[in-house]
């Protein structure tokens, strides 16, 4: 081949190789870039006053005096919302109003028994009060404006009646006065619809601003605080401002989604202007500010990973990885040393090597089922350990999973050591075992560490094996290797397919995945640095 053609081919090959590397980098950026961006939002975001309250309550973190003062300022901006809703509900919740009227009537009857009035006067007062109560109940239950006004007018005629002054029956007059104010601008025929939709508004406000002042503490942790992040608050604001309904177009046609301003659903009422108020004053209500939540990597999480971080998941992943590698490395190196230095190339050894190669390609879920059947149900109970998934069973399962990779990598590294090294050692009188430990093994160490790097990545990122042998979605921090543990890989799987609460906070899903990627990169980096130092030491640098 002519020199010019050879040079041209070399240049073309160099360009193609460089382009391949660039394409690979672009693919990695395209895949990891959005993941890192969204996962990073679990640590860097705009935190609201609700986030700071959550940190104070759950983790005892932050300046309590400042947070309390900030919360009071936020409640001042929120007060108009709750007072407006309560007034509006006063005109549409007929059942509650009727019950109040009946309670007042019963109380007035009890009060009359304690007076010195004659039986005739008591009977007359009870009769008049009963009529007032009945007319009030008619007003509360009616959707006819004329009938309501007539009943209220009848009740209000007793406003200045001296018989009811300074008595519990005056509460009936007060109910009538308040109700006449509350129903201004309300279409009583739409009262049932108003009631249903104001409940929806209240549910969204609980997610946005937390429980209303004076409300009972919710049982679920996720309902004890409002939107802890400004991006989540923006989504909830969209749900609050827009009413979603699905409209059927016709027979055998798909339904279409229609959004209408929720304020139109309350047109003519004082609730109509409330949505504009919330939209304009939401920053005052939540007081967002830039937050760097580095404690995400050490904090525990609440059920569903709704609040908190991934501290137990990181700890569990490290425990499984380190313990698995303690099994993998010695067994892998010893097995490779036997195959290279001691075993002859006979039929049995070829079967063993073929089995090792086959095991390297077996799906990981098969190893998980094997670990469940052998380690969890058979092996551990022999030594008196409970027959349940635990760190020890999961780590041994992961060790079996990665052992073929470790054996093959170590075997190739040992074979790559020049034969002259061994011959020189044997010629100086060293035994075969001494030669292997002092000469062959150090020379093969960089290649063995390559197998360690490959095994580390697979152990830390596997889900299927630990699914059956020792991982849990939620649970306490393990106290021994006989307890199950949370892991990043299984936690990511659980959040993605089985946890509806986690779907409401996708930044935590991405945060856990990115944390797993970063943890694997850190472990690999440590192993690569160690391999580099060993290589330099062997090279005499």
Burial of 24 (C-beta count, 10 Å sphere; 0-12/13-18/19+): exposed
Tokens of 288: 């967002």
Residue (of 210, 524, 516) closest to 508 by Cα position: 516
Tell me how many degrees the CA angle 337-533-447 measures, rounded to the nearest 5: 30
Confidence bin at 205 (pLDDT 50/70/90): very high
**In percent, how much of the chain has pLDDT > 70?**
98
pLDDT digits (tens, 9 = 90+) for 156-194: 888 888 888 888 888 888 888 888 887 777 777 788 888
Residue 526 has pLDDT above 90, yes or no: no
Of residues 54 and 36, more confidently modeled: 54
pLDDT mean over 347-371: 88
Q: Which of 11-15, 314-318, 376-380, 522-526 has the lowest mean pLDDT?
A: 11-15
The CB density around residue 37, as the number of other CB atoms within 10 Å, is 11
Whole-Å CA distances, 233 to 206, 229, 493: 11, 6, 26
Tell me, letter by letter, the H, E, C secondary structure of 111-134.
HHHCCCCCHHHHHHHHHHHHHHHH
Strand pairing partners for 229? 47
- What residue segments make up the domains of the chain, in order of their start? 3-40, 48-81+190-292, 93-185, 311-539
Which residue shows structure tokens 């799987």? Answer: 493
Please measure the distance between the N-terminal and C-terminal CA atoms of the chain and give it in whole angstroms: 41
Element (H, E) at 243: strand 242-248
Element (H, E) at 210: none
Residue 436 has pLDDT above 70, yes or no: yes
Residue 245 has pLDDT above 90, yes or no: no
pLDDT digits (tens, 9 = 90+) for 324-355: 999 999 999 999 988 888 877 788 888 888 88
pLDDT mean across residues, the chain: 87
Percent helix, strand, coil in the chain, to 5, is: 70, 5, 25
For residue 259, the model assigns a pLDDT of: 87
Instruction: Decide if 391 contacts 482 (C-beta within 8 A).
Output: yes
pLDDT mean over 216-231: 87
Instruction: Decide if 67 contacts 52 (C-beta within 8 A).
Output: yes
Instruction: Decide if 240 contacts 262 (C-beta within 8 A).
Output: yes
pLDDT mean over 96-101: 85
Domain 311-539 fold:
MetI-like fold (1.10.3720)
Q: What is the pTM of this model?
A: 0.81
Residue (of 510, 407, 390, 402) closest to 460 by Cα position: 402
Instruction: Decide if 285 contacts 77 (C-beta within 8 A).
Output: yes
pLDDT mean over 389-397: 93
Which residue shows structure tokens 């409330």? Answer: 274
């Amino acid at each position: 081949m002519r020199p010019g053609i050879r040079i041209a081919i070399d240049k073309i090959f160099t360009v193609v190789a460089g382009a391949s590397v660039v394409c690979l980098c672009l693919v990695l950026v395209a895949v990891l870039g959005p993941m890192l961006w969204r996962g990073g939002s679990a640590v860097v975001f705009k935190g609201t006053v609700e986030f700071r309250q959550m940190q104070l309550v759950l983790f005892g973190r932050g300046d309590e005096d400042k947070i309390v003062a900030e919360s009071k300022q936020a409640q001042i901006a929120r007060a108009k919302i709750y007072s407006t809703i309560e007034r509006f509900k006063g005109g549409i919740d007929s059942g509650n109003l009727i019950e109040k009227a009946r309670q007042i009537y019963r109380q007035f009857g009890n009060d009359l028994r304690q007076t010195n009035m004659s039986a005739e006067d008591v009977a007359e007062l009870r009769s008049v009060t009963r009529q007032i109560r009945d007319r009030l109940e008619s007003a509360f239950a009616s959707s006819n404006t004329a009938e309501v006004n007539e009943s209220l007018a009848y009740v209000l005629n007793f406003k200045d009646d001296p018989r009811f002054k300074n008595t519990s029956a005056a509460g009936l007059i007060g109910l009538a006065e308040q109700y006449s104010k509350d129903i201004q601008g309300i279409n009583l025929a739409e009262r049932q619809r108003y009631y249903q939709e104001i409940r929806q508004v209240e549910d969204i406000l609980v997610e946005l601003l937390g429980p209303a002042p004076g409300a009972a503490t919710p049982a679920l942790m996720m309902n004890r605080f409002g939107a802890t992040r400004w991006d989540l608050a923006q989504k909830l604001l969209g749900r609050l401002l827009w009413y979603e309904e699905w409209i059927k177009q016709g027979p055998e046609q798909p339904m279409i989604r229609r959004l209408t301003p929720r304020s139109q659903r309350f047109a003519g009422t004082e609730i109509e202007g409330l949505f504009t108020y919330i939209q304009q004053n939401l920053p005052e209500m939540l007081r967002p500010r830039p937050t760097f939540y580095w404690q995400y990597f050490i904090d525990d999480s609440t059920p569903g990973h709704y609040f908190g971080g991934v501290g137990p998941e990181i700890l569990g992943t490290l425990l499984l990885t380190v313990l698995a590698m303690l099994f993998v490395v010695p067994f892998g190196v010893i097995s490779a040393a036997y195959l290279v230095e001691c075993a002859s190339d006979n039929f049995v050894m070829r079967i063993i090597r073929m089995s090792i190669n086959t095991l390297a390609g077996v799906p990981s879920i098969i190893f998980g089922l094997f670990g469940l059947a052998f380690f969890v149900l058979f092996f551990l109970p022999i030594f008196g350990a409970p027959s349940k998934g635990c760190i020890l069973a999961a780590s041994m399962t992961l060790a079996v999973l990665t052992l073929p990779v470790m054996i093959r990598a170590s075997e190739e590294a040992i074979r790559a050591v020049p034969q002259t090294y061994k011959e020189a050692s044997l010629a100086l009188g060293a035994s075969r075992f001494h030669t292997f430990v002092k000469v062959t093994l150090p020379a093969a160490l960089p290649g063995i560490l390559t197998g360690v790097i490959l095994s580390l990545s697979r152990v830390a990122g596997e889900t299927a094996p630990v699914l059956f042998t020792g991982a849990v979605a939620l649970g306490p921090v393990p106290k021994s290797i006989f307890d199950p543990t949370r892991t990043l890989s299984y936690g990511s799987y659980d959040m993605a397919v089985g946890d509806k609460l986690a779907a409401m906070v996708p930044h935590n899903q991405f945060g856990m995945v990115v944390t797993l990627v970063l943890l694997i990169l850190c472990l690999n980096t440590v192993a690569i640095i160690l391999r580099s130092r060993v290589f330099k030491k062997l090279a005499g640098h």
